[in-house]
Amino acid sequence: MNVRAAATGVLLTLLMAAGVARAVDKIAPAYAPIPIPLKIEQVPGKPIYYSVGNPGIPGKDNEGNTSNAGFVVTSDGVVVFDALGTPSLGWALLQEIRKITDKPVRYVIASHYHADHIYGLQAFKDHTAAVIVAQERASEYKENEETADEKADQRLDQRRGVLFPWVDDKTRVVPPDITFKERMTIVLGDRRLTLLFAGPAHSSSDMMMMVEPDGVLFAGDIVQNSRIPFMNSDDVSTTHWLDALAEVGKLQPKFIIPGHGKPSTEADKAIAFTRDYIQYVRNAMSGAVQNWTDFDAAYAQTDWSKYKDMPAFANNNRGNAYRIYLELEQSQFKQDKP
């Protein structure tokens, strides 16, 4: 090999190295970074971790980081529960997992298909081999799908506005790879994960995940702590929701990680907030329905002082009350039928 050929060889090697670097850049995501890092906490003494979202509704101030997510590190890989509300947050969660373990992410479980829990799925779909699992009605959550309880395309447009640059024109809804109807058990290494359908309650596809032998329950949005839940959609059933909360109590988890708000070792206290709120609004609206009071008057007459300073009250409460009014009106109508 002459000098020139050798130099060309070196140059080629350098170019190839640069090419490889560029290829890696392409693989690395173009997600806008999140200025506030996720704070990962551990369930005491367990290989189970979680991130707690900010109160309130998704917006620039909280970077869309309003929901909780977590992961279980088994002896045979990682199972993630929920993927947070933007691809950037999903990617950040994956990086946090990588700080703790290099085991592969085997599954990502979606508690339900609402934007604040699923836009991060994109990062897992594109950068891991994880299988995405959800309850079967989650498959309805797609573009132009009128049966979805949160209209997927409308919501994506809204988030591209309020959460840009973390949600942009490259953000997409990633559907589940596999779904289940009532119950699914995943045995992975030294852990058993039971997925339990709990809807339709907060959404059509609500589910919870019990981790054994630890007794840790990821409850999704069935349980929300100190935050006014979102109930203003066609598929909300507060009757089922109250049933699902009772089920949570029966499972007797030692540690409960809600969809929003603080995790707790006291399951009864954790479910009390959501249950009491639902019951309060139901009581207020059922009187109105029975007396044929119209909704606006009923809403105005109700004392909301107990809840009005809670996160998400301004955005969610009136719509929630209206949904419950309609739900109770419908059940009354059914009862009245001969």
Residues of this chain that interact with Zn ion (CB under 5 A) are 67, 116, 221, 259
Indicate the residue among 63 and 116 with the shorter CB distance to Zn ion: 116
Cβ closest to Zn ion, residue 112 vs residue 275? 112
Cβ of residue 331: shortest distance to Zn ion, in angstroms? 25
Nearer to Zn ion, 68 or 74 (CB): 68
Report the residue number, 55 or 287, with the smaller CB distance to Zn ion: 55
In this structure, the dihedral spanned by the alpha carbons of residues 28, 29, 30 and 32, taken in order and rounded to 10 degrees, is: -120
Q: CB of residue 220 vs Zn ion: minimum separation in angstroms?
A: 8
187/170 Cα distance (integer angstroms): 34
What is the C-alpha to C-alpha distance for residues 336 and 6, in angstroms, rounded to an integer? 92
Which alpha helices (DSSP H) does the chain contain, by range? 3-27, 87-100, 115-118, 121-127, 152-162, 238-251, 267-290, 295-301, 313-336
- Minimum distance, C-beta of residue 109 to Zn ion, in the bound complex (Å): 14
Question: Within 13 Å, how many C-alpha atoms sit on residue 249's CB side?
Answer: 12
Distance CA 60, CA 105 (A): 29
Write out the two tokens for 22. Answer: 């560029």
Instruction: Report the C-alpha gap between 11 and 35 in whole angstroms.
Output: 39
**Shortest Cβ 114–Zn ion spacing (Å):** 5
284: number of Cβ within 10 Å: 18
Rounded Cα distance, 272 and 267, in Å: 8
148 vs 298, which CB is nearer to Zn ion?
A: 148
Of the pair 80, 289, the CB lying nearest Zn ion is at: 80
User: Nearest approach, Cβ of 121 to Zn ion (angstroms)?
Assistant: 14
